[in-house]
Amino acid sequence: MSSLNKTARMAGFLYLIYMIVEIAADVLGRSPLIAMGNAAGTAGNLVAHESQFRIGIVGDLVAGVLFFLTAWALYALLKPVNKNVALLFMLLNLGGVAVRFAIDLDYVAALLLSSGADYLKVFQADQLQALSMAFLHLQKYGYWASQIFFGVWLFPLGYLVFKSGFLPKFLGIILMVHCFTWTTTSLLYFLYAPGYTALTYVSFPLGFIAEFGLTLWLLIKGAREQK
């Protein structure tokens, strides 16, 4: 197996493991415990299932590391096509990962406010619940801020996939189109625009096709050296 093919398969493997960990952290860790319109119920869930919530936070952190390692592997794969553009998408990925790490502290804050620690007894229970919910809302805004980085990184990535000659051009095109749909979705969330929900029906399926398609191609097909 050529070194290029090994790098491609490594990138695909890391991308797949990242997706599994990210989805597991959300579906099995955090989401079942958070009801955004119910501060008291959410606080009760965090107290009753603290370990599950903490596992979700750890899963997020591990997923962030895996995603950056994926970007590094893709950089190694695609830098012969254009080193500067490859460096650009790796730095954009790093920016998004850094934001995601920072906003995970909002989860920790929500957990601490629900802990019933002695130093929190100066606050009323409903005040602590409201503050905890405020941090969860702040985390959601931070999540979409990180997605601006993850949206923009798709264009240089898609461009290099398109130009590479050893990866399918149609995946490169889909990645570049997805850059605009996902970045627009993220910005519309901050504008609280009515079109946000409607656009997700396009951006989520397109993202699945683009990124999961690239993952499977790298993992199964790899990349062939050009003569």
Structure tokens at 38: 């119910």
| Phi, psi angles (nearest 5°) of residue 38 | -135, 90
| DSSP 8-state secondary structure symbol assigned to residue 209 | I
Q: Which residues contact 208 (CB under 8 A, 6 or more apart)?
A: none
Q: pLDDT (tens digit, 0 to 9) for every residue of the chain, 227 residues total?
A: 578 888 999 999 999 999 999 999 999 888 899 988 899 999 999 999 999 999 999 999 999 999 999 999 999 999 999 999 999 999 999 999 999 999 999 999 999 998 888 888 888 989 999 999 999 999 999 999 999 999 999 999 999 999 998 899 999 999 999 999 999 988 888 887 666 677 778 888 888 899 999 999 999 888 765 54
Look at the chain and count its residues: 227
Q: State the residue for tokens 């008291």.
A: 40
Distance CA 70, CA 142 (A): 22
